[in-house]
Amino acid sequence: MDVYAENVFIKQKFEEMGLDICEVCGLLPSSIEEQNIELIALLGFVHAYKVSGDECVISGMRDSIPSIILGKGTEDRWGKFESWVCNCRLGAFLDYNRVPGSEDCVGLESIKVYLGQYSLYVDFLGVIPPGLACRYLKEELCDEVFLSKRNKVPVTVTGCDGYCPGCFQRPWCQQGREESWKIDRKHGVMVIPEIAKEYLDVELPSINYLVPHR
């Protein structure tokens, strides 16, 4: 790989994590080789910070923060780095961690663990396909939603708004499967969103199996 291709590759790694290097870095060296050296050091530092769950280890990283991070002194630079690296777009995380050959997502448990770091908890009403769960979370929370480790107010995402026919998890939700709504009776089958149909490998139950609800 030549130095220019390597430069593009490194910058893409930051983009995949939802991180914009322009937010914390000054002017990059004019030499592509020097840029690569600086950016590789920063990328390694970001990964080391993210994988460490030990506050003592993280605190000890302050004095070795890459020089490419702008700021007035160590504390200021460290504050900017933490603010930058601790904020990430959910969509970027899901794309970055996509399992090769899988259907649009990482395992649901991995997503739950990640979101739990940001006091955001997933508690769907059924065991839904991971691919569907990933699509829902990405579309519902959106790439524009930033998750911050500084936000400690717990939020639980159930995916339920009370309207079963419009719920993506209805086929896997006991209450959703058992209740019949007016629109179900109109169509003669349990009505579900198109996105759910893509993951359903059985026929939709007729209203004869549903309990009248609304």
State whether 95 and 73 are in the same domain. Answer: no
State whether 127 and 193 are in the same domain. Answer: no
Which of 27, 56, 85 is a domain's end point?
A: 85
Name which residue leads in pLDDT, 85 or 172. Answer: 172
State whether 147 and 172 are in the same domain. Answer: no
- Over residues 97-124, the pLDDT tens digits come to 554 444 545 566 767 777 776 677 888 8
Q: What is the pLDDT of residue 101?
A: 43
Q: Find the Cα–Cα–Cα–Cα dihedral 56, 58, 59, 65, rounded to 10°.
A: 150
The total domain count for the chain is 3
* Amino acid in position 154: P
Q: Residue holding tokens 């899901």? A: 94
Query: 177 and 171 in contact (C-beta within 8 Å)?
Result: yes
Residue 202 has pLDDT above 70, yes or no: no
CA geometry: angle at 135 spanning 130 and 136, to 5°?
95
Q: What is the mean pLDDT of the chain?
A: 77
- Six-digit token string for 96: 């970055």
Residue 189 has pLDDT above 60, yes or no: yes
State whether 180 and 145 are in the same domain. Answer: no
State whether 106 and 79 are in the same domain. Answer: no
- Over residues 7-52, the pLDDT tens digits come to 899 888 888 777 888 888 877 888 899 998 999 999 988 888 877 6
Which of 141, 157, 173 is a domain's end point?
A: 157
Query: 66 and 42 in contact (C-beta within 8 Å)?
Result: yes
Residue 153 has pLDDT above 80, yes or no: no
Provide the domain limits for residue 81.
3-85
State whether 19 and 79 are in the same domain. Answer: yes
3-state SS assignment for residue 58: helix
Q: What is the pLDDT of residue 166?
A: 92
State whether 7 and 69 are in the same domain. Answer: yes
Give the up-direction half-sphere exposure of residue 11: CA atoms within 13 A in the CB hemisphere.
14
Residue 56 has pLDDT above 50, yes or no: yes
State whether 80 and 17 are in the same domain. Answer: yes
